[in-house]
Structure 1
Amino acid sequence: MKLYEINIELENLLDEVQENGGEISADLEKKLDALELQRSVKIANVCLFFKNLVSFQSAVSDEIKNLTQKKKVIDNKIDFLKEYISRNLREGEKINEANFSISWRKSDAVEVTPFINLEEFAKQYPDFVTHKIEVAKTKVKDYIKSTGVIPDGIEYKEKNNIIIK
């Protein structure tokens, strides 16, 4: 019997007690005791199940934190190894093996020099900065590509990025 069914049955039995003038017969008392016991057991089981779920939720949250930390460590190792391989190859050197290949892809990057005066840069090139007064590197790169002019405080570098498959 489900908990809500037990509660309904208890209400029916209590209504029966009222109909009998408030007297509880031995048979009615046995039924009430049995239902109360069933109800208590069901409530206890639901509470224990709830506690188990709360505990499981906490364990899952802890595991997420642990896995997030492990992922960060693995990401750092991957970045280190990619940089390590890149440093130990000649730029542009390609390698094709049965279980891996190394190739290079050209890309452009805009690097803002540490001594740039952001306020002056923002006045001179308002479209190249965000509201936070940062250099909008993508816009600067597009500007450099279209005009060939490199704004003061900006270094333009062509890079080769390693690709490992």
Structure 2
Amino acid sequence: MAIAFLFTDSERRQFEQLARRFSLSLLETVAMAGELATDGFDPARGQGEPFEFTAPHTIGPDYLSKRNVPDPDANVDVFVAQDWAQRDAEAAQYLLDEHPSRAVAISVCSNSLAWFRFWAVRDPDPERRARFASVVEAYDARAGHPEMRPGSHAQATMHPMFAPYRQH
């Protein structure tokens, strides 16, 4: 019942009634309500094993190069991914302010591009998906690799400066 304290008394009673009616625990009822509330937000739910985010314990110049960003087809909750993307953006800003270097700029660019590739497929808003996709396409065209897709032969052989870093 650790989650129950987040609800008003009225909401808690309603969830408890639902739980009793369907012979479920309160946590199961809340989880089901969460799934129903978020159904349809993810335009391309991933398959396979759930994606696990990793991050170093301290933020230093190599922080983003040790982070992992899910592939667009990864089995990941888009709301959790949004939280991690926000953390990466905040870390990127800090790194550019406090540790300005070419290596940091490249890791920020690679991390951002990896997130843009993810959101070009998984953002709930079609207009934002299109904007992310256009940024990725423009970057790939400028880099001379219009056929660039995660896992492609061209991506594996491209110059490291332009390769999005992915650690799974």
TM-score where L is the length of structure 1 = 0.22
TM-score where L is the length of structure 2 = 0.22
**Greater per-residue strand proportion:** 1
* Structure number with bigger Rg: 1
